[in-house]
Amino acid sequence: MTGRWLFTKVGAAVLTLIFVLIFNFFLFRAIGDPTTQLARLPGATDKEIEQLKSDYGLDKPLLGQFADYVGDTATLDLGISQNTREPVWEEIKDALPWTLLLVGTGTLLATLIGAWMGVKAATKRGTKTDDGLLGFSLFTYAAPEYWIGIILILLFAVAWPIFPAGQQVTPGVEFASWFDEALDVVDHLVLPATAMTLMLLGQYFLIMRSSMVDVLTEDFITVKRATGLSRERVINRHAVPNALLPLVTLSAIQFGAVAGGAITIETVFSWPGLGELSFNAINDKDFPMLQGTFLVFSVGVIFANLLADILYFYLDPRVQSR
């Protein structure tokens, strides 16, 4: 039973991925010959353009080209960056851990803080605390995350320069130990991670809050209370865990927004992740790189969704009993 369900989910994920490939492929063919950009180089003779075309396999029929594309992608050959002439995958590989670090920290903190805020607001529903927290979350939801990032720079890297304003390490410095370097990274991570956390906070808060309210009204809570458990206990041991569940699914829905946030926040802080790669590719009109980062973002989100579905399946008591 579970096997079949798993199979469908994975199958759907793979299908989605295939459509991403199709989309990627046709989109860039649609704008015309990729060699037109290269043809703009001074001194590009017709013969050289023909040669380029055959190198890129552009003289094959469309289906053949697509088959090539799929095959290449499977072997992690995502093409050559138009600007650096380096393999796209190499650059993505180097950038990926940094994005994961930023996004992971932001999601973790947003979950923890948002959940905590949600519990507080739900248990103090209708009070000023609730209103305050609600207002704060709405504000951070509506505010553009890159704007928040710039304001953080203004406040904590310019006005009171206690944090660095960009990069991931202080450049050109040799560190005495791995730990020192890690500390330097954390130092540089604080502001961008704060921006990311604030961006994601609102949703976690709202969901946790409404989910807590739902749970608090359920019968089993009244029963627990009636058996004489303290307020603390009831909230922490029984209400919260059950309210936590929707958070998992929400994390999944968030991944798409997280990808977008990664791009803008990394741009603001020159954080050397996928987002900054994308930003540079936009400015340079480096289409292979843009294709590559879009693919990786999509794969990441698809995979994360799949993971969340699986997690949800195992965590939800109601689903399991089916």
Window 166 to 205, contacts with another protein (CB under 8 A): 166-176, 178, 180-188, 190, 203
Nearest CA to 236 among 124, 109, 119? 119
Nearest to 103 by CA among 254, 249, 258: 258
Q: Which of 92, 101, 117, 119 binds another protein (CB under 8 A)?
A: 101
User: Binder to another protein among 25, 69, 205, 294 (CB under 8 A)?
Assistant: 294
Restricted to residues 26-65, the positions that interact with another protein (CB under 8 A) are 27-28, 30-31, 40-43
C-alpha 85/C-alpha 131 separation (Å) is 54
Tell me, residue by residue from 229 to 248, as one string, x for binding to another protein by CB under 8 A and - for no binding. -xxx-xx-x--xx--xx-xx
Question: Can you tell me which of 78, 92, 119, 216 binds another protein, judged by CB under 8 A?
Answer: 216
Q: Are 152 and 191 in contact (CB under 8 A)?
A: yes
Q: Tally the C-alpha atoms within 13 A of residue 135's C-alpha that lie toward its C-beta.
A: 7
Angle at 107 between CA 110 and CA 148, to 5 degrees: 65
Q: Residue 233 is encoded by which pair of tokens?
A: 């206990």
Please check whether residue 73 is in contact with residue 296, taking contact to mean a CB–CB distance below 8 angstroms: no
Q: How far is the CB of 219 from another protein (least distance, A)?
A: 10
- If we measure between CA atoms, which residue out of 109, 112, 107 comes closest to residue 255? 107
Q: How far is the CB of 63 from another protein (least distance, A)?
A: 21
Region from 2-10, 56-64, 67-75, 214-222 binding another protein, contact rule CB under 8 A: 214-222
**Least distance CB 67 / another protein (angstroms):** 21
Site map for another protein, 120-149, x if CB under 8 A? Answer: ---x-xx-----------xx-xxxx-xxx-
Q: Which of 160, 318, 321, 322 binds another protein (CB under 8 A)?
A: 160
**Which residues, at least 6 apart from 205, have a Cβ–Cβ distance to it below 8 Å?**
114, 115, 117, 118, 121, 133, 137
Q: How far apart are CB 198 and another protein at their closest, in Å?
A: 12
The radius of gyration of the chain's CA atoms, rounded to the nearest angstrom, is 24
Residues within window 104-123 making contact with another protein, judged by CB under 8 A: 104-105, 107-108, 111, 123
Does position 4 interact with another protein (CB under 8 A)? The reply is: no
Looking at the Cβ atoms of 73 and 298, the one nearer to another protein is: 298
Window 66-95: residues binding another protein (CB under 8 A) = 80, 83-86, 93-94
Residue 79 near residue 72 (C-beta atoms within 8 A): yes
